[in-house]
Structure 1
Amino acid sequence: MLLKSAALLIIAFLIGRGIGYLLTRQARKTAEKPKPLLLEDELPPPAAESILPPGEVELMPLEANYVTLPATSAPVTTVVPKTRKPRPEPEVIAKARAAAKPAARKAEPSPAVSPLAAMTPDQVEAAIAAAGAPLEPARLKVADKGKPDPLLDIVGIGPVNEVQLHALGIYHFRQIAAWTPENIKWVSERIKFPGRIVRENWMKQAAEFEAAKKG
């Protein structure tokens, strides 16, 4: 009877041991089996919502919109728009034109009286013979104030010679009174009856008439 009871206990122990082993193995397989992924597991956790005061807008960081351009060695040309210059006023134009006009011709100083005015005709002729090349005397484009001296008052100057003298730019007594021997040579080549310059000594007569004008 004792042996039978002992045998039953051993059998019960072995059966319990086997059942425990099976349960332990099943529990391990269940623990190692991967857990199925859910939609909630695939999405990242929601970011913390920024709390802004009403009416304000959240700005994106500058780095998000910043673009780096490649460097270039080409020169940068700055285009400057053309501007029209203002038209000058009529008064300014008139002043500019007045300034551009040539200054009025100053009156020439009265030339000195030639030494020939104090000589006799023979002395004048000798001085001319000893003189050098002909030399152009002082001449004028127009008579002073448009009014020439009466050259016909000089003995030896007739209407023909007066016209010729005017054509040469000789209008006044003071011009003739200043003639040198070289000047007389130059004039004698351009008028008729040149010998009368010496014979009547035009320089002496012209000096006297010029002095009378001033006196």
Structure 2
Amino acid sequence: MKFNSVFDIIGPVMIGPSSSHTAGAARIGRAARHLFGQEPEWAKVHLYESFAKTYRGHGTDYAIAGGLLDFETDDPRMSQALDIAKEKGLSIEFIEEAGKAPHPNTTRIIIGKGDKQQELVGISIGGGKIEVKELNGFELRLSGHHPAILIMHNDRFGAIASVTQILAKYEINIGHMEVNRKDVGKHALMVIETDQNADSDVLEALKASEHIINIANISN
């Protein structure tokens, strides 16, 4: 296994016993929340292999709940996230799946509010790092080793250009980028791996750009 820095060995600042099962799980939940654009009313969390076997003991359940509540990995409320979710009216069902998955730390999170629904597949690859493999049927290819910005947008002329111009303005270098769409003129998904973490100013500028629907930032 290749480590890029000492922080890959130490792991992230977090609440919980496991960087893979707690910090990574929280980041998957938070990515789902950010792409959804609001706090959901309900969530169905399908857990596979190692996640399914150990999610209670390793805190994967409260970590995903905390992510859905938009908690950072080191938020002191993380261990109470299940109770807080219940108080807020967020119903979360955890489903242990018996089938195989591409990675032992895999979860499929389906969330909804009103008539809006979203499905995300994520894996925790170690050290708190995550990969989002699928979003609403869009297959993604993220290395998990670099910061990434996921942008759901309307498939319109100029949408991609406006995003790249903003990143250039803030001197954010693009390492890898791909755009997927299901049909012309419908929703599309932009996946951008960058060399630097995008700060709040960059994300706010992107959110304000024309044709952007929702954004999720996956930082390292």
TM over 0.5: no
Radius of gyration: which is bigger? 1
Question: Normalising by structure 1, what TM-score?
Answer: 0.21
Question: Normalising by structure 2, what TM-score?
Answer: 0.21
Structure ranking higher in helix proportion: 1
